Amino acid sequence: MIYALAITWFLADIGVNLEGALIGGTIGGVIIGFAVQSVVSSLLSGMMITAGGFMKPDEAISVSSWMFSDTITGTVEDVRTLYTKVRLPNSNVILIPNTILFGSAIFTRLNKGRNIIYNFSATVPSDTNAFEILEILNSKKEGIRNDLNLISLNIFLNSKNGTTNSFSIIIEFSDMNKINDIINALNLEVEKAYWGVKNKPKTQ
């Protein structure tokens, strides 16, 4: 404050128009404020994420936001001040701004100890008996679990409507890099069960 008063007195003494300087400083401050708003917001979000322990390196997460077309699933590699680095199952690395993670997203921890638990849906047309499809899948469940090296596998009928039957599949596994292959294999198993029921010879 002493320095500020001294500078103000000096400027007034040499004839500088302080009113104009203050107005110019105010406008400049507003412009600078707008310019750094996103950076400051990211800094504060990064501080909240790291201080609060919301995300940690090597943690498997699933992030959904209205800003993304699809849910992002991957492993946290690094939490920086401005962004969080996430490695996807296809080995690509994306940088998610912390402002999105802290203010515009819902994220779910997928870790259960050293393992990962993931839930997804498989949908087939409703022109077949959903109970029969579920029976086929459950009869093959142990074989599928062993083939895909899953720790656990559970399949439920999630919903029925006029056009589709949706099955909820909950898997527990250990390697995030294999999630795409696992989901693909399980979707194919649901598809095979559907066609097995659909093409079953009709009894007289």
Tell me the per-residue pLDDT of 23-58, one tens digit each, with 9 for 90 and over: 555 544 544 454 455 555 566 655 666 665 667 888
Residue 152 within a domain = yes
Number of domain units in the chain: 2
Residue 12 is predicted with a pLDDT of: 64
Cα separation, 89 vs 86, whole angstroms: 10
pLDDT of residue 34: 47
Q: What angle do CA 40, 43, 44 make, to 5 degrees?
A: 90
- pTM beyond 0.85: no
Residue 190 lies in a domain: yes
Count of Cβ atoms closer than 10 Å to residue 122 Cβ? 22
Query: Does any domain span residue 204?
Result: no
Q: What pLDDT score was predicted for residue 179?
A: 92
Which residue has better confidence, 138 or 23?
Answer: 138
Residue 19 pLDDT more than 70?
A: no
Q: What is the CATH number of the domain that holds 26?
A: 2.30.30.520
Which of 10-19, 74-83, 149-158 shows the lowest per-residue confidence on average (mean pLDDT)? 10-19
The pLDDT tens digits for 142-200 are 999 999 999 999 999 998 888 999 999 999 999 998 999 999 999 999 999 999 999 88
**72, 63 contact by CB (below 8 A):** yes
* Judgement on whether residues 128 and 192 belong to the same structural domain of the protein: yes
Mean pLDDT, range 47-74, rounded to an integer: 78
Question: Are 11 and 99 in a shared domain?
Answer: yes
* Domain match, 38 and 81 both: yes
What is the arithmetic mean of pLDDT over 119-134?
A: 92
Q: Does 2 share its domain with 88?
A: yes
- Kindly tell me if the per-residue pLDDT of 113 is higher than 90: no
136 pLDDT band, cuts 50/70/90, is very high
Average pLDDT over residues 64-90: 85
Range of the domain at 164: 115-198
- Percent of the chain beyond pLDDT 90? 38
Highest mean pLDDT among 28-37, 72-81, 102-111: 72-81
The pLDDT score that the predictor gives to residue 30 is: 46
User: In whole angstroms, what is the distance from residue 175 CA to residue 114 CA?
Assistant: 9
pLDDT of residue 48: 63
Is the four-CA dihedral 81, 86, 91, 93 of positive or negative sign? negative
Query: Do residues 120 and 104 share a domain?
Result: no
The mean pLDDT value of the chain amounts to 80
Question: The domain that contains 124 carries what CATH number?
Answer: 3.30.70.1130
- Quick one: 192 and 120 in the same domain? yes
